[in-house]
A = this chain, B = another copy of it.
């Protein structure tokens, strides 16, 4: 079958979780635009009707009923001559008799004002941030439909949903599920085209893996492939879009934008894309784009307009301020400096310089008066005790309370500024600097914080924060030794191993699941490794109460991290 006569469309949309009315409008508008360009088949992301992941909204019976009404309504409103695949739920009719969850994760084929056919997801990811076995039954039934074309011919089209296409034994060297829906589809049907509706969250390096895997599928099954991925951030998860079309030789014909909405119009007669190599874009640039999207969407989807950030003069808050200014505009970012008697001169001047460079407004509120009040009130009770981390935490909690007061008074969202390294080992104060509605860089290790800031200063990309100034992050913020400045002459490195060593240990411990013994065998000092492992364990109670943190790696502290607190793991 020659696909050259047909124009396909992919609607790479940023959807709001649960917003059936809004999402239907988004779908209608996108399909109309694509139809105006002569598109005959439109692909949308997984669960595009409700946004992914809807989580326990699916346990709300009314919400499930509303989804069923909304999809039927959407079918009526869509242009009748276009075939549109919309991600939605459907009812598992056999749940109570045959056992299994009550819902399917489905794709609805809408055409001619009706739901023509439903296709159910077969492979249900239940690992990391995914909980699909919690909600969905394993799909059954046909995954194929016939698309009648305007010229009288027709196409046989196979439909898969996200994980369905992630189980090619040859590509992975193993199976994660017993079945390979793609192989079965290809073997049992004379397909002309394969579709995949996805909601695949961003992680560093993941796009290269996706392209390799999807290209492999197209080649192995000699099938052109359309892949629609959701874009936009929902709580901790950032979806990067970058939807794609592959020809049957596994070459990319079209690729959607990363980290923004896009409508792709695809004709398989068009030439193969000169690979806009992902490698040209550094990890730093990609992560920055992801975090900008993550902050913008959380702010907007939670219906805030402005954010407030505590500016310490250090590099973490500098990066968060830069991300926020890029995400929602410098005029919507307030930086608050809260110096104490332990603050260095440069902590003020560096923060002011940063704010100046970013063009954000600032407030200065010295915390000494509150420190004195707390000290006096606790004096009798603490009389016989030495100063310790208590007094350091109090400073952090005074700052956290001031920031929340500003948040409450002006309706700004507070962004917390902790990085992954410090959250891993608990080098942060619960109810203090951990305060905030969103932890913007909670999944960014400290060494990466440095490299992203260096990239911001170096890049020629058209960031709005780079208009008019090249060195946005004052160099002194990048070069000075990190310090919490909670007591005189304090440096992070007095309490922690050097960050390059710490980050390497954490990478092996958290991402590679290595044991202390195995990490030591890679060349690290035993005492340091044992200490880091212990710190990571005992900081669990802090992480449990942390704000949602934007996920940029394959193992973040968040919805995919489920550790016990009251436990005792013998080393």
Contacts and interface: CB of A to CB of B under 8 A. Distances in A.
Interface of A: 16-22, 51, 53-57, 59-63, 66, 95-100, 126-127, 131, 133-134, 167, 173-179, 233-235, 297-298, 301-302, 363, 365-367, 369-370, 372-374, 376-378, 381-382, 385, 388-390, 393-394, 397-398, 400-402, 404-406, 408-409, 430-431, 435, 437, 513-518, 541, 544-548, 559, 561-570
A567 B18 contact: yes
A39 to B, nearest CB: 28
Contacts of A51: 567
Q: What 9 pairs between A and B have smallest CB-CB spacing?
A: A62-B515, A301-B566, A99-B175, A96-B174, A17-B567, A133-B133, A390-B408, A19-B568, A373-B373
B564 A17 contact: yes
Contacts of A381: 363, 365, 406, 409
A426 B218 CA distance: 51
Contacts of A22: 568
A377 B366 contact: yes
A405 B53 CA distance: 39
A401 B390 contact: no
A437 B66 CA distance: 39
Given A100-B177, A402-B378, A569-B63, A408 B393 contact: yes
Contacts of A378: 365, 402, 405-406, 409
A374 B405 CA distance: 9
B235 A297 contact: no
Nearest to A371: B373
What is the total number of copies of this protein in its complex?
Answer: 2
Contact of A431 (B54, B61, B176, B431): B431
Nearest to A570: B21
Given A234-B564, A567-B18, A377 B388 contact: no
A18 B175 CA distance: 29
A385 to B, nearest CB: 6
Contact of A401 (B394, B545, B569): B394
A402 B16 CA distance: 40
A57 B569 contact: yes
Q: Which of A173, A301, A518 has the most CB of B within 10 A?
A: A301
13 contacts: A61-B515, A98-B175, A126-B126, A235-B564, A235-B565, A365-B378, A369-B376, A370-B370, A372-B373, A382-B405, A389-B408, A397-B401, A404-B431
A18 B377 contact: no
A99 B565 contact: no
A262 to B, nearest CB: 21
Contacts of A544: 547-548
A408 to B, nearest CB: 4
A33 to B, nearest CB: 23
Contacts of A389: 408
Contacts of A59: 513
A402 B431 contact: no
Given A127-B134, A365-B377, A518-B62, A16 B567 contact: yes
A207 to B, nearest CB: 24
B234 A66 contact: no
A367 to B, nearest CB: 8
A488 to B, nearest CB: 19
A17 B540 CA distance: 14
B174 A97 contact: yes
Contacts of A16: 566-568
B298 A566 contact: yes
A427 to B, nearest CB: 15
A369 B385 CA distance: 22
Given A134-B126, A397-B401, A409-B382, A99 B566 contact: no
A17 B234 contact: no
A513 B61 contact: yes
A566 B176 CA distance: 31
Contacts of A570: 18-21, 66
B363 A369 contact: no
Contacts of A385: 409
A381 B99 CA distance: 60
Contacts of A175: 96-100
Contacts of A21: 570
Given A382-B409, A405-B390, A55 B547 contact: no
A431 B377 contact: no
Contacts of A100: 175-178
Contacts of A54: 564
A364 B22 CA distance: 53
Contacts of A370: 370, 373-374, 377
A388 B204 CA distance: 43
A516 B60 CA distance: 11
Contacts of A95: 174
Nearest to A124: B133
Given A388-B408, A397-B401, A431-B401, A562 B56 contact: yes
B393 A374 contact: no
A17 B568 contact: yes
A366 B568 CA distance: 39
A390 B374 contact: no
Nearest to A167: B99
A563 B99 contact: no
A234 to B, nearest CB: 6
